[in-house]
Structure 1
Amino acid sequence: MSSDVVVVGGGISGLAAAYFLAERGARVTVLESTPRLGGKLYADEIAGVPVDLGAESMLARRPEAVGLAKAVGLADALEEPATAKASLWTRGRLRPMPKGQLMGVPGDMTSLAASGVLSGTGLARLPLDHVLPRTKVGEDVAVGGFVAARMGREVVDRLVEPLLGGVYAGNAYEISLRAAVPQLYEAARTGRSLIEGVRDIQRRAAAQQDGPAAPVFAGIRGGVGRLPLAVADACRAAGAVIESGTLVRELRRSAAHRWQVVVDGDRVLDADAVVLAVPAGPAARLLSAESPGAAAELSAVEYASMALVTMAFRRRDLALLPPGSGFLVPPVDGKTIKASTFSSRKWGWIGEADPETFVLRTSVGRYGDEADLAWDDTDLVRLSRRDLEEAVGLTAAPVAARVTRWDSGLPQYPVGHLGRVARIREHVGKLPGLAVCGAVYDGVGIPACIASSRKAADAVLSGLRPV
């Protein structure tokens, strides 16, 4: 089989879809509107040290991202974090992340009490979870409201919020339990105690392990941003054409039941199939004529904006930095930064690149809390340094700083999101030779995006006629 497929979008989702299509014989063209491939995966440098300026790690307990990295020649570059010991900056100081929790929902009461994350009142509220009747979750429920009803708001505000926020840059009181923490949703449907549900999930996970526990996350030496570039190289080697700086203006069905992709300059590409691997807004625009139902659903998807502030310091100036890979900050504490990663400590390859330089980064902004993003880059660096001084006593000036803004960078998964995704796919499925993929649909993590890409590739290939 050899058919023409156009993939719109050159982030990891689009490039992975192109890879899966090309390896099965399709003639593929990838069209990316910006000058750079990779989307939210972006490897660059600061003060001569290679770093990620976007996503820095990928879930290793799912096979998709690690498997794709190996397939495109990055097997030897895969690396687990040198340390995964994180803290919470809350209630006035750094406190150890409690063990035995699932996305902030506690299962180990001893570790939770020792951490000092919750007040005495918050801890005293927890035993009610064992005696409360089962909470009805129906088709879906917000994570925050569900957990607060069983364990109290303090658990949500000090534990669940910072952990969920680190993934979605969202608000726990709006994020869908079913979409964001499906294991917990199933436990909520079948059990009574949430604490026992978390323990059961962790016991089952431990029982499935064969040998030592595998690392939860993995990175790539030189940056996770190397992954999309390696995938692009593999696509080119398989004959794919990749165009950056090419904006798709229109998508329409032709009389011959093929697709016409109109790009800037009124150039028209004819294709047997199209994969849309772009955010919800551009996808809605391109589908408005051919699938108004899908376009309407996509137009309702909201996004969070955020910024990453990456700073390089002289290592000798950070001699008193506390141990660990960094810390998360609950929004309830009212700080500017939402997290800080001690990159040179977390990733061995960054520390090795320049032993005299120490790189760390902070994140600013989340859904519904984006006012600080109006500051210019210099002020975001200043505000980050102010919070770092309060949190860890860092007073040194950086030798270099970079601010990377991800405007409308992360789709939100509110209650009912999975139903919306199902409706989008139902509408799209009525148009032969069309598929969608990306962070909007099946999860925002890198493995989830790659799984979404494979699903899209399979969908269009199954409907293509042999040539």
Structure 2
Amino acid sequence: MTVSSTTPPTGRRPRHLLVVGGGVTGLAAARAALAAGLTVTLLEASPGYGGKLVLGHVAGSTVDLGAESILARRPEGVALAQETGLADDIVHPATTAAGVWSRGELHPLPSGQLMGVPGDLRALSASGVLGSRGLARVQADRVMPKTPVTEDVAVGEYIARRLGREVVDRLVEPLLGGVYAGHADKLSLRATVPQLVPLAAAGTPLTTGVRDLLAKGAADSSAAGQAPKPVFAGIRGGVGRLPGAIAADVAKRGADLRTDVAVRALRRTEAGWRAELSDGSTVDGDAVVLAVPGYAAADLLAEHAPSALPELRDIEYASMAITTFAFHRSALAGMPLGSGFLVPPVDGRAIKAATFSSLKWPWLAHSAGDLVILRTSLGRHGEAEILEREDGELAKAALADLADAIGLTAAPVDRHVQRWTRALPQYAVGHLDRVARIRAALPAGLAVAGAAYDGVGIPACIASADSAVSTLIEGNDER
């Protein structure tokens, strides 16, 4: 029997968890709940698992159509891959030599920087990314008065204040854009680059602070007898294999996994929660994890957390597209290649980045044989018009930029265009406070998790899932 939304669920420890969403967050939540001894039902509206972690095929090779790497300096992603049977297939890039295509020329991405904020002024100067006036402005940071920042600010605003506009436009913007498909002048410093927050609070020079942060990290690794850890990891056969591995693992552990079934509504019951499904059936549980985008969570919470709705709906999303091409290897002979390059949006190009995937990942080079697989990304927050173009027009725009950047004029052997609509949440200034308010407004027995809240990368989503499950269990244990 359903009851009014004001009737609280029982305070006992949950026994049956409903997970709404079968992306990596939902799958990780299911696994965490199973490890804690709960029964799990996972409900996914699409035909498969993984969300934006999807595999496809170009010229006979399996490729990632979404994220192709995992941040390895956070442990959650690599650890989960290892624990779900992929330990022998974890790989690292063959090259990390990235570039910046700025003012029509390719430059090496400077070493000794943190999300574009330089800590090594010699490397910055040698890269040629900034002009003489931009370099002078960055150097002035070390003699400027302290400017403590005690509230959240936009990344671009703060860094421009300390280092000048050029370093934001030419380095910070393309790096942040590669992660969030957003704009530095709108993204929260605390949510996107938390390492800089203590430096901002102290008001000390950013360049000196970044230099010291990077040196401390290297010293800590050395003191622990550890070799420097690779920044990124991949999976042989594609990162898109990870959701399938997690799903197989949780199914083997007894989870009830259902695809092609959407949750139309959540109702309170005397024992907990009831999910009303698109096939007309219902499923009951003691607790719920909503591992879906903020706007989807808002639809399901309208009856139960009305004060959270405007907060959830105010989380904006960026759409983007990934074009993947296959070329004969001979077509790229002699070109300046590495792992890829970033593109400052200030230059007005269509693409925001290019990755030479089969040069970066040896497993893909082996699969591709005499072909080179490369991909570009297009689209940022507020730039939806480019994604209104047909696939052929998107591919044409990407190829035109590749021709200008590296002189690649040959026709591709094959291509694939993957669109991701409302894919990347934008962490506006005040995002962390917004998330705290959302969670404070949730009723007992219900938690939210995923990229909308705690970070957009794979490890961050896994950590968000683990935290949501722990909160549900511990919250009920305390009552």
TM-score (norm 1): 0.97
d(CA) in 2 for partners of 1:369, 1:272: 42
User: SS in structure 2 opposite 1:132?
Assistant: coil
Whether the 8 Å CA contact 2:148–2:203 is kept in 1: the answer is no
Alignment match of 1:16 (pick from 28, 50, 53): 28
User: SS in structure 2 opposite 1:44?
Assistant: strand
Alignment match of 2:396 (pick from 367, 382, 385): 382
Match of 2:122 in 1: 110
Match of 2:182 in 1: 170
Whether the 8 Å CA contact 1:3–1:464 is kept in 2: the answer is no
Match of 2:337 in 1: 323
d(CA) in 2 for partners of 1:238, 1:24: 12
Whether the 8 Å CA contact 2:321–2:418 is kept in 1: the answer is yes
User: SS in structure 2 opposite 1:138?
Assistant: coil
TM-score (norm 2): 0.95
User: SS in structure 2 opposite 1:269?
Assistant: strand
User: SS in structure 1 opposite 2:173?
Assistant: helix
Match of 1:451 in 2: 463
Gap runs ≥5 in structure 2: 1-12
Match of 2:451 in 1: 439
d(CA) in 2 for partners of 1:228, 1:83: 26
1:75-100 residue CA offsets vs partner (Å, 9 max, x unmatched): 10100111011000001210010111
User: SS in structure 2 opposite 1:266?
Assistant: coil
Whether the 8 Å CA contact 2:14–2:286 is kept in 1: the answer is no
Describe the shift of the 1:190–1:46 C-alpha distance in structure 2 as closer, same or farther (beyond 3 A): same
* Distance apart, 1:257 and its partner CA: 4.0
* Distance apart, 1:397 and its partner CA: 0.8
Match of 2:383 in 1: 369
> Could you tell me which amino acid in structure 2 is paired with residue 142 of structure 1?
A
Match of 2:7 in 1: none
Alignment match of 2:417 (pick from 403, 410, 428): 403
Alignment match of 1:252 (pick from 264, 267, 278): 267
1:152-172 residue CA offsets vs partner (Å, 9 max, x unmatched): 100000000000000011000
Whether the 8 Å CA contact 1:82–1:345 is kept in 2: the answer is yes
1:421-462 residue CA offsets vs partner (Å, 9 max, x unmatched): 00011112xx22111100011110110000000001112223
- Taking only aligned residues, the RMSD between alpha carbons, in angstroms, comes to 1.4
d(CA) in 1 for partners of 2:127, 2:14: 59
User: SS in structure 1 opposite 2:279?
Assistant: helix
Q: Counterparts in 2 of 1:39-118, with a 5 A limit?
A: 39-118=51-130
Match of 1:147 in 2: 159
d(CA) in 2 for partners of 1:2, 1:22: 12
Whether the 8 Å CA contact 2:117–2:167 is kept in 1: the answer is yes
| Structure 2 residue 240 is matched with structure 1 residue 225 | yes
* Distance apart, 1:191 and its partner CA: 4.2
| Structure 2 residue 293 is matched with structure 1 residue 279 | yes
d(CA) in 2 for partners of 1:204, 1:190: 18
1:272-320 residue CA offsets vs partner (Å, 9 max, x unmatched): 1110000001000000101111222101100000000001111122213
| Structure 2 residue 226 is matched with structure 1 residue 211 | yes
> Could you tell me which amino acid in structure 2 is paired with residue 222 of structure 1?
G
d(CA) in 2 for partners of 1:28, 1:464: 17
Whether the 8 Å CA contact 1:171–1:368 is kept in 2: the answer is no
Percent identity between the aligned chains? 55
1:5-50 residue CA offsets vs partner (Å, 9 max, x unmatched): 1100000000000011112221111111111210111122211111
* Distance apart, 1:127 and its partner CA: 2.3
Alignment match of 2:193 (pick from 171, 174, 181): 181
